[in-house]
Amino acid sequence: MSVSPVSAPHRPAPFSKVHLIAALSISQLIGWGTTFDMPSVLGRAMERDLGLPFETIFGGLTAMMIVMALASPRAGRFLVTLGAARVMALGSVLMASGLTVLSLSQGPVSYFAAWLIIGLGGTCALSVSANTAVVEREGAAAKRTIGTLMIFTGLSSALFWPILSFAESAIGWRATLQMAAVAHIVLLVPLHMFGLPARGDAAALTASAEAASKPLPNLNARDRLRAFLLIASASSLNSLTSFGVSASLIELLKLAGATPGLALTLASLRGVIGISARLADLVAGDRTSPVASGLAASAAMFCSFLLLAAFPASPFAVPLIFVLLYGAGSGVAAVARALLPLSFFTREDFATMSSNVALPQNIASALSPVIFAAMMENFGLSGVIALALTLTFLTCLSMAGLMLLRARADLSATA
C-alpha cells in the first residue's frame, strides 16, 4: 500500500515555473557552493589551522558523500510522507549545524563529525530533494525545469569560489563558515518552507502538460525491478567515471600530451562545455528522452577515451577534442541521471526510486577519485583509459538495456 504524502506547508504564492526555478536555483547554489565546493577554497587554510594533511581535509567530502548515500533511502521515505519543502528545510538546518561544528573544529574527530552532519543535510536538501520538489509540482512535465535548474546549479563553484576566497581573506575561514551557516538558516529555511510554489497550485496548471507527455510504460513487477537495476547501474557507472575523471582531469590531460598551461585551460573549459551541452539538450526538449540522451552522452564519453587510447601523446588537438567530447557527454549525462526514473515510474514513485538509486550512485561518487588516482599512480595513462573505457562501455550497455525495455513496454501497450 502506498503512503499518501502529507500536504506541503500552505504557501499562497501562485505557481510559476520561473518562480520555481529561481527558488531551487538559489537553494542549490548555496547548498553545493558552501559545502561540496567549499574545501577547494578554504582547504589550505583549514589544513594550516587544524594541522591535518591536505588529503584528510578533502576526506571530508568523501565522508559527506558516503553519508548521503547511506541516508538516501530513508530520506526518500521522508520525501514521500512529508513532501520536499519540509525535508529541504530540515536539510538546511542540518547543513547549518554541520558548518557551525566545522567552524569550531579543533582536530580530526570534530572535523569529520561536522562532515557527517553536513552529509545528512545534503541528503535532505540537495539534488534528489530538489528534483523531487520539481516533480511534485510538474509531474511528467518536469524534464525541462530540471534541465534548466541543473544549468544554473552547475555554476555553484564559479559563483562561490570567489565569494569564499574574498570572505576568507577578510574574516578567516572559521567566520566564513559561520556566515555560510547563517545563510542556510536565514535564507534557505524560509525559502524552502514558504518560497516554493505550493504543489496544489501546480497540479491544475500542469495537468495538460502531463496528458500531452509520452505515457509511462505499463511495467509488470519483474520489469519494474529490471528498470530500477538498470537505472542504478547506469547512474552509478556514469558517476564513477565522471567524478573520478573530473578529480584527475588536469593530470590526465598532461599525461595525454598537453602542456601544464593548456591542461589547466582545457580542464577549466570542461564545465562551460558541459553546461552548453545541457542547454542544447534542453532546447531539444521533447524531441529527446532521458534514455536517448543518456545513451548518446555515454557514447560520447566512450569515444573520448577511445580517442586518447588511439592517440596518447598529442600536444593539442587530441586533448582539445577529448575535452569537448567528454565535457559534453558528462554534462548531458548528469541531467539524464536525474531524469531516468521519470521515464519508467510515476511522480509518486520518483522520490523513492531516485533516493534508492542515490545509494550506489553516491558511494561510487565518493570512491571514484581514490580509484582513479590509484590507477593513475600505479598504471599511468593507459590504466586510467582502460578503466574509463570499461566503465563507459558498461554504462552504454545499461542505457541500451533501458532503451530496449522501454521499447518493448511501448510495443506491448500498443499490441
Packing angle between helix 108-125 and helix 17-33, nearest 10 degrees? 170
**pLDDT tier for residue 413 given thresholds of 50, 70 and 90:** low
Instruction: Please name which of 151, 189, 188, 133 lies closest in space to residue 15, comparing C-alpha atoms.
Output: 133
Q: Give me the residue spans of the domains in the chain.
A: 17-207, 214-414
Q: What is the pLDDT of residues 51-64, one digit of tens each?
A: 998 888 888 988 99
361-374: average pLDDT? 88
Question: What are the grid coordinates assigned to 407, written together?
Answer: 521499447
Quote the pLDDT of residue 202. Answer: 46
User: Can you tell me the distance from the alpha carbon of 247 to that of 252, in angstroms, rounded to the nearest whole number?
Assistant: 10
For 31, 100, 327, the CA distances from 187, given in Å and listed in that order, are 11, 16, 33
Who contacts 415 (Cβ-Cβ below 8 Å, separation ≥6)?
none
Percent of the chain at pLDDT > 90 equals: 49
3-22: average pLDDT? 61
Q: Integer distance in angstroms from the first to the last C-alpha of the chain?
A: 30
User: Can you tell me the distance from the alpha carbon of 107 to that of 151, in angstroms, rounded to the nearest whole number?
Assistant: 37
Rounded to whole angstroms, the maximal C-alpha distance in the chain is 68
Predicted structure pTM score: 0.81
**DSSP 8-state code for residue 193:** I
255-284: average pLDDT? 84
C-alpha torsion angle, residues 240, 241, 246, 247 (rounded to 10) = 50
Say if residue 368's pLDDT is above 60: yes
Domain 214-414, CATH: 1.20.1250.20
Instruction: Please name which of 320, 224, 312 lies closest in space to residue 266, comparing C-alpha atoms.
Output: 320
Quote the pLDDT of residue 415. Answer: 57
**pLDDT tier for residue 374 given thresholds of 50, 70 and 90:** confident
User: Can you tell me the distance from the alpha carbon of 210 to that of 30, in angstroms, rounded to the nearest whole number?
Assistant: 31
216-227: average pLDDT? 79
Place of cell 556566515: 179
Question: What are the grid coordinates assigned to 382, written together?
Answer: 593507459
Give, in degrees to the nearest 5, the angle at Cα 310 between 305 and 315.
85
Q: Do domains 17-207 and 214-414 have the same CATH topology?
A: yes
More confident position, 379 or 248: 379
Quote the pLDDT of residue 271. Answer: 81
Quote the pLDDT of residue 402. Answer: 93
Q: What is the pLDDT of residues 113-163, one digit of tens each?
A: 999 999 999 999 998 999 999 988 887 677 788 888 888 888 888 889 899
**pLDDT tier for residue 215 given thresholds of 50, 70 and 90:** low
315-342: average pLDDT? 89
Please tell me the class of the 17-207 domain.
Answer: mainly alpha
User: Can you tell me the distance from the alpha carbon of 264 to that of 260, in angstroms, rounded to the nearest whole number?
Assistant: 6
